[in-house]
Amino acid sequence: MSREERKLRKHFEEKAKRERRLAKKFSRQRPGASKSAPAGQITEIGPGYCDVMTGSQRIRCRPTPDLAIGDHVLFSLERRRVEEVLPRRTVLSRTDPHNARVQRVIAANVDVVVVVVSLKNPPLRPGLIDRYLIAIGKSGAAPLLCVNKIDLMSSDEELDALQPYQDLGIEVLLCSAATGEGLEILSATLAGKTCVFTGHSGVGKSSLLNALDQRLDLETNPVSSVNEKGRHTTTSSAMYELSNGARVIDTPGIREFGLWNISRTEIARYFDEFNVHRCNFSDCTHTHEPFCAVKTAVESGDIPIARYQVYLRIVSSLA
């Protein structure tokens, strides 16, 4: 084990110890208290506070460390604080953009992760989509690719870049928050589910939510005409209940998405088209090994070369 690996292992061991101490501190209640404590779901988190939705009532409380939007919790009405975070059913995470060794939970206990993209203004970023799909695969939630701003399309050929995802069986919905096209299908797909809207800055996540439910009136901003980059309009995550019964978490747009706690050897399992090709070596990385079935499939066209190049870029970034 290298020095860097020992340091990383020590970091995670110390973090786990701190989390156990904090969990013990916040769950220290009189016998039977947790059974009678009211339960709710975290709908918003801010500096030193969190909002807990219980029934139709929103209660402002003091949070515990590492709390996430969507967490189911037990809380104290008298003390106005979260007492216990219940086990998470699904967890969508990324690395902290300032420290790759720190986990940042985007949302918890969601059924569907809606990755919102646009073909133009800002342009499509397939590499970001692939990173999201890996994180979603690990999260336990279902993916949904929502293409917004289709009113800006000049030809149907622009949709060809999305064909590899449809070939993998990922649901792709075409929408326009500006014209309303595709919104009925999107609303019906999300009805009654807990979802999170995520994606690149400027793709129109908040605009879509406003179009799905005009009561929300979320702030939006146009994409910069200078560099076609999105502007951060949503600055914090919050959960909203739509008229179709869906609970949707709106998240700030991102420019980069770091994969949390996924090693280079694990990446291949999230590329489903790789899994039908058996290599001679069980630990094949599909990069330099001889007699690699995946590389052979790329050469023959069975696996799109664009997908393989994405895989190589992600593996290289985790080196």
Closest CA to 175 of 236, 233, 117, 109: 117
Pairing verdict, β 72-76 and 39-46:
antiparallel
pLDDT at 223 over 60: no
At the topology level, CATH places domain 264-317 in Ribonucleotide Reductase Protein R1; domain 1 (1.10.40)
CATH class of domain segment(s) 108-250: alpha beta
The 8-class DSSP code of residue 209 comes to H
Taking domain 3-85, whether its CATH number is 2.30.30.140 is answered by yes
Give pTM, 2 decimals.
0.80
pLDDT at 228 over 80: no
Q: What's the pLDDT score for residue 232?
A: 43
How far is Cα 250 from Cα 199, in angstroms, rounded to an integer?
A: 10
More confidently predicted of 318 and 195: 195
* 3-state SS, residue 58: strand
Q: What are phi and psi of 199, to 5 degrees?
A: 155, -175
pLDDT single digits (tens) 66-105: 899 999 999 999 999 999 999 999 999 999 888 888 899 9
Q: In which residue ranges of the chain is CATH 3.40.50.300 found?
A: 108-250
How far is Cα 97 from Cα 54, in angstroms, rounded to an integer?
A: 32
Which residues, at least 6 apart from 19, have a Cβ–Cβ distance to it below 8 Å?
65, 66
Q: What's the pLDDT score for residue 225?
A: 45
Q: What are phi and psi of 83, to 5 degrees?
A: -100, -35
